[in-house]
Amino acid sequence: MYWNKLLKCVQGHAVYIQPHDFPDPDALASAFALQSFLEYYQISSEICYAGRIETRSTLLMLEMLEIKPKRISEIKEMSEKDYIINVDAQKGNANITDVPGKVVACIDHHPLVGTYPYQYQDVRKAGSCSSLVAGYFYDSGVPIGKKEATALLYGIHIDTNQLRRGLTDLDVDMYHYLYPRSNTVYLNQLLSSKLEYRDLKAFGTAINNVQIIEHVGFAYIPFDCPDALLGMLSDFILSLDVVNCSVVYTLRPEGLKVSVRCSAGELHAGQIIKEVAESFGGGGGGHAEMAGGFIPKASVNMEDPDWENQIRTRFLEIVHQSENESVL
The arithmetic mean of pLDDT across residues 38-54, rounded, is: 94
248 shares a domain with 306 = yes
210 shares a domain with 81 = no
Q: Three-state SS for 196?
A: coil
Contact yes or no for 90/113 (Cβ under 8 A): yes
- Which of 168, 191, 214 is the C-terminal boundary of a domain? 191
**In this structure, what DSSP letter does residue 49 have?**
E
209 shares a domain with 292 = yes
147 shares a domain with 225 = no
114: CATH: 3.90.1640.10
257 shares a domain with 316 = yes
pLDDT at 326 over 70: no
Which of 21-35, 191-205, 251-265 is predicted least confidently? 191-205
131 shares a domain with 22 = yes
Contact yes or no for 206/234 (Cβ under 8 A): no
158 shares a domain with 33 = yes
pLDDT for 151 equals: 98
The larger pLDDT score, comparing residue 112 to residue 29, is at 29
184 shares a domain with 66 = yes
- The strand pairing partners of 292, in sequence order, are 259, 285
Q: Three-state SS for 62?
A: helix
214 shares a domain with 102 = no
pLDDT at 172 over 80: yes
SS3 content of the chain, % helix, strand, coil (to 5): 45, 20, 35
59 shares a domain with 158 = yes
Domain coverage including residue 253: 199-327
- Which of 191, 221, 246 is the C-terminal boundary of a domain? 191
Number of domains in the chain: 2
Summarize pLDDT for 138-171 with one digit per residue, the tens: 999 999 999 999 999 999 999 998 888 889 999 9
C-alpha to C-alpha distance for 319 and 254, rounded to whole angstroms: 26
Please, how many CA atoms are within 13 Å of residue 237, restricted to the half-sphere of its CB?
33
298 shares a domain with 265 = yes
126 shares a domain with 9 = yes
- Which of 149, 169, 191 is the C-terminal boundary of a domain? 191
212: CATH: 3.10.310.30
Summarize pLDDT for 107-143 with one digit per residue, the tens: 999 888 888 999 999 999 999 999 999 999 999 999 9
pLDDT at 20 over 90: yes
